[in-house]
Amino acid sequence: MMELDWLGGKIAGEGVLRLSKKIRDLEDVFEDHAAWTSMDPETLVYSVEWTQPTAQDNEGGLFWGVTVIEPGRVGEEFFMTRGHFHAKRDRGEYYTAVQGTGMLLLMDESRSGRWEQMTPGSLHYIPGHTAHRVVNTGQDPLIFWACWASDAGHDYGTIQREGFSHRVIASEGSPRLVPSTQP
Ligand code: PA5
Ligand code: NI
């Protein structure tokens, strides 16, 4: 059994996996390369904790995890996750936010984009064939839990090459969604 710190975004127990992404790991994720270069490479952008009770390719199994995105910006762009399609494209996922405010960017395979506001208690169903990225548009950490299929896998390459259709930038202090000019 595992124990969750639901609002703190932590999982305690044996076999919990953890990763963190710092500015240095996120080259090419943010549009403003000059701003990215000028930042401390050790700045934490987001961290993930998750459990894998089954093998990664287990059909029918589920994984459970939490992501904490720090508040911050690279140039005008808010801190965000890398974003991905699932390697098995038809696999869906649930996200639910518990702290902070942000935006869930969704994009289908024909690059048609939409977005959902994330606030404490918001529940988001991400259908299959849909890339997903979360942007922290607030002043506090954005914390959300996720549940996804064990055999979904992560395809980061497509987003790395082609980017998302939209980006979220700070415009006079408020988040604004703008079409991407480049991946
Ligand atoms: O499974 C998910 O979609 C999440 O747990 C993400 O992996 C997590 O939010 C980090 O985002 P990314 O994998 O796009 O870096
Ligand atoms: Ni996912």
Give the ligand 1 atom nearest the CA of 66. 5
Does residue 183 carry a pLDDT above 60? Answer: no
**49 pLDDT higher than 70:** yes
Average pLDDT, the chain: 96
User: What is residue 126's predicted lDDT score, i.e. its pLDDT?
Assistant: 98
d(CA 83, CA 135): 10
Answer yes or no: is pLDDT of 64 > 90.
yes
How much distance in Å is there from the Cα of 172 to the middle of ligand 2?
31
How far apart, in whole angstroms, are the C-alpha atoms of residue 72 and residue 181? Answer: 21
Residues in the chain: 183
- Could you read off the pLDDT of 84-131 as tens digits, one per residue? 999 999 999 999 999 999 999 999 999 999 999 999 999 999 999 999
Q: Which residue's CA is the closest to the ligand 1 atom numbered 11?
A: 81
For the residues of 32-101, what is the DSSP string, one character each?
Answer: -HHHHHTS-TT-EEEEEEEE-SS-TT-TT-EEEEEEEEPS-EETTEEPB---BB-SSTT--EEEEEEES-
Ligand 1 neighbours by CB, cut-off 6 Å: 48, 65, 67, 81-84, 93, 132, 146, 148, 154
Q: What is the DSSP letter of 155?
A: B
**Token output for 158:** 């497509």
Q: How far is 106 from 114, CA to CA, in rounded Å?
A: 5
pLDDT at residue 145 is higher than 70: yes
Query: What is the reported pLDDT for 182?
Result: 59
Ligand 2 centre to CA of 50 (Å) is 12
Q: List domains and CATH numbers for the chain.
A: 3-179 (2.60.120.10)
- Please give the pLDDT value at position 56: 92
Whether ipTM > 0.95 holds is: yes
> CA dist 101 to 31, 51, 114, Å?
22, 25, 17
Tell me, what's the pLDDT at 181?
Answer: 77
